[in-house]
Amino acid sequence: MNLKSVATFAVAATVTAMLGTQPASSHTQGTPRSSAPRASAQSITSGPWVKLAGTSAKLNDVPGGPVRLASYSLIFDAGQGHYGYLREGDRFVRTPYREALVAPGERWVAGIPDSRLWLAVKRIDLIDRTSGRKYTIPMPAPVTSPEWSPDGSTLLLTAYKPRRDGSLTIIGFITLTVTDRTPRLVETGPRHRVADWDIGRSFRFYFTGGADGVLAMHDERDVAPRKRRIAVYDLDGKRRRVYTGVGDLDEWHTVTPFSPSGRLFATFVREGENGHQIGIVEASTGKVVHRIGKDIHAFAGWYDEKHVIVQRKRAETQVVYQRADLSGTVDLELIREKLIAGPAEYKPHLDRVNFVHRD
């Protein structure tokens, strides 16, 4: 069986295994989600350590927690390729996608084809794991960077216009609901030109804590940090707000910067030789209300309203994903991954993780 056949079989197995998965959240589109977790922080303890296929990493599969790891992407060959993996029970299977992004509620999966992260694609797949159906949807413009709305009903993608030299110009965003599966292109914002590693990373769009607005970095990095802006747009592309000097979005690693309630979002407010400091911004006021750590490699999402998931490196031989409260105190390790000294960047290792919130 060739590689493509194996990958296709893996997706089919996943779809079959997930039949009967609970439906998408009934949360009303565009409104804040409840931040109430399934279990209190005090009652959450370590679970069984589950092997993450394709890498040396292991997952602390915390029982009863408010989130669980639903999918992840591996990077390999010094960033030349990406493989997406989907959860099937207590194991993970490889897919033919570079990203297989699971929606909240875990019914829908957005599959982004091709293994090259920097390639903007002209079609995506939507997989309904309740029915087992796959919908291949042509896009009105090349796209990257999927993100699901908190209610699992709407997919957001960043849209581009190709240039003759191979670079791309960001022209806006595309939204796609699971009910009609019709992509809607909205042209907005400054038309940043991106190439190579910046494609799929720089100036990508995110939902603003619901499905009724989006935001993206507005300024290039040559603008002083205190003057650098994050712009907020409505779904018609009109700019509604600007945050200034609140930090930069972690556009490479994070699936969504907003907390479950939509009241807070995370940025990088300071960079240093040993990592970054995370800023927690109050969306209503634009104030940085918390600063976390100084040695954080990546922001990997929200665990619940009072905890974030951060990635740290230990002596270049191990990567850990940790749960930290808003004071920076770490109380739980969620993922541990060993790195191989020397050619580690050529071996498959975790790049993006997708922890979804349970209802």
Residue 101 has pLDDT above 90, yes or no: yes
Q: What pLDDT shows up at residue 343? A: 53
DSSP state of 32: P
Residue 260 has pLDDT above 90, yes or no: yes
Rounded Cα distance between 60 and 68, Å, is: 10
pLDDT digit string (tens) for 298-328?
999 999 999 999 999 987 789 999 999 999 9
pLDDT digit string (tens) for 186-228?
999 899 999 988 998 899 999 999 899 999 999 998 999 999 9
Q: What pLDDT shows up at residue 143? A: 97
Mean confidence (pLDDT) of the chain:
86
Residue 279 pairs in a beta bridge with: 267, 291
Q: What pLDDT shows up at residue 44? A: 57
Residue with tokens 């700019």: 239
Let me know the angle formed at the C-alpha of 114 by 132 and 341, rounded to the nearest 5 degrees. 110
Give the strand pairing for 67-76 and 97-102. unpaired
